Structure 1
């Protein structure tokens, strides 16, 4: 009789102690298996212990016997991107300063291709491109950034500023009419003309464009260039090395 009472007391005490334990709430960043061993998450490892498997990487999976959750690192609609994606895009993007020799259309087209390839969300394009604007283009951006333009608005304003009809007409006059002035390095003169021909659609083929540039050079340089018979922009540019050396 005494033995039974003592057993009941022990059993009752054990139940009370068990029920009075603090509830086991999961703590973010760790797991606990049936043997009460605790592990902490590692962003570059897969941990398997007991009934749990926790994998961290590009796609995070947390799985037990009854539950499975998939987490996407970077949803397509998110404004958050891996830092390496943005850096890779910036490294590949051209810069634009607003100089007359630079082609704004090529800048926009090349930039769009890079941003698409890097999978940068369209709503981030303007912010990324703004860091590539230097000189006069950077000053222009400083005036309109408060408007917070969309990419379409940015594209339109940028084109009007640096490649509008009046800008192109002025550049065409300069291309076809301005001659090499005394003291201007022949290499610099030719390079500037080549860049303008490539930027503007003049209707001339490359060979006729080369001849036009030669005619705009100083008379004492024209014969030296024609002796080398350049037919392409690259050949004309190479011919200027000899002229520069002789003058």
Structure 2
């Protein structure tokens, strides 16, 4: 049986790790390089680094910071934010990332997914999708871009399916409604997307306790759970979360 992955997200703004609730009111919580090193020591399976202001400010990824984070971790490392061209993908991978997350830029230019997958392989191309409830959409969820600031006319399920057809090898599914609340993942959204695509789906937004992760990895059908607030706050460590999941019979990589 494939092991479920625990992934920590570092949202980065102006070179510092930040955390907000429902994509708003972000506060500075530390140095991303030091935090990456600590989470690697704790046994996290993967690390995701999001430059949350890059697309909104119309700039590319901060390569020197990415390289410094990459130097501290020897696990899969995914980078998102401001990656809008093949050259951006190439330079991000050369800086030390194994994967790139395409979110706003993929919505604006879907061909970037296809081009990236063709040149670098599907395993390198991750669709980052920010979605929120909207009864006007066929699936009940609308896609947003630019850090949740701009709504699109894309339906979450339809966009996920199209992105996979174009070559995305994985989806990080961010629930705007649950983000930062620590009240549990959006199980309905996660299960719907996981059952609609043939690639791994990473649930993001709302993780507050190990039982929340257990729910989204089982009921929500997610392949991995992305966490931030629950470890950034010091309430849990990676090993304490994994031990709880293991007790529930969920296969995880123990350290």
The higher radius of gyration belongs to 1
Task: Confirm or deny a common fold (TM above 0.5).
Answer: no
Richer in helix (by share): 1
Considering Cα pairs closer than 8 Å and 6+ residues apart, tell me whether 1 or 2 has the greater RCO: 2
Q: TM-score, normalised by structure 2?
A: 0.22
Richer in strand (by share): 2
